[in-house]
Amino acid sequence: MGFSEGRSVTLAGEWEFYPYTLLEEVPSNNTHKSSQYIEVPGDWSTALNPDDSSPYGYGSYHLRILVNAEKDTTFTIRVPSVRSASALYVNGLLVGKSGDVGKSKEDSSAWNVPYTSKSIRADETGVLDIELQVTNFVEPRSSGIVRSVKFGYEEDVEAETQLSSI
């Protein structure tokens, strides 16, 4: 059963990743000289710190989703686990977060708890530009987006989340 049949989809696969960059907004030409593609969910250590594969640091993940541009359709994103703090932006707006993202241990705070975004809508062309800023300065295990992110119609994601918590 897929997204069109009333269920969410897992946003697994290759996401664009910007090590040691907290994007203010998605670059207009969708290219950045320091970006690379990494597997999500998965450990970011090698992509973030190729010399020693340390899990510590910060970066931004980027994914672009195209949907039917229906004016009244609302979507949501469920972020189950990002070590150790994250901030979720869609089309430039902050729609969810866990902890405080920063460029150092001193200006960030870890709080790895699941969250669901506020209601989100595609732009007039049906585009959802997703940016997930991530910071980890405390968790020694594999880090980054370590569990599958879910996307779907707001009511479907909410129903799945409630069912999984029973």
Structure confidence at residue 44 (pLDDT): 96
Q: Which residues are CB-contacts of 6 (< 8 A; sequence separation ≥ 6)?
A: 153, 156
Structure confidence at residue 106 (pLDDT): 97
pTM of the model: 0.89
Structure confidence at residue 154 (pLDDT): 86
Structure confidence at residue 29 (pLDDT): 58
pLDDT at 1 over 50: no
pLDDT at 28 over 80: no
Both tokens of residue 1? Answer: 């059963």
Grade residue 156 by pLDDT with cuts at 50, 70 and 90: confident
What domains sit in the chain, N to C, each tagged with a CATH number? 9-164 (2.60.120.260)
Structure confidence at residue 142 (pLDDT): 87
| 8 Å CB contact between 40 and 149 | yes
Express each pLDDT in 52-105 by its tens digit: 999 999 999 999 999 987 778 899 999 998 989 999 999 999 999 999 999 999
User: In the predicted model, what is the mean pLDDT of the chain?
Assistant: 89
Structure confidence at residue 25 (pLDDT): 56
E-state strands within 4-157: 9-10, 13-19, 36-40, 57-66, 75-79, 82-83, 85-90, 93-98, 115-116, 127-136, 144-145, 150-153
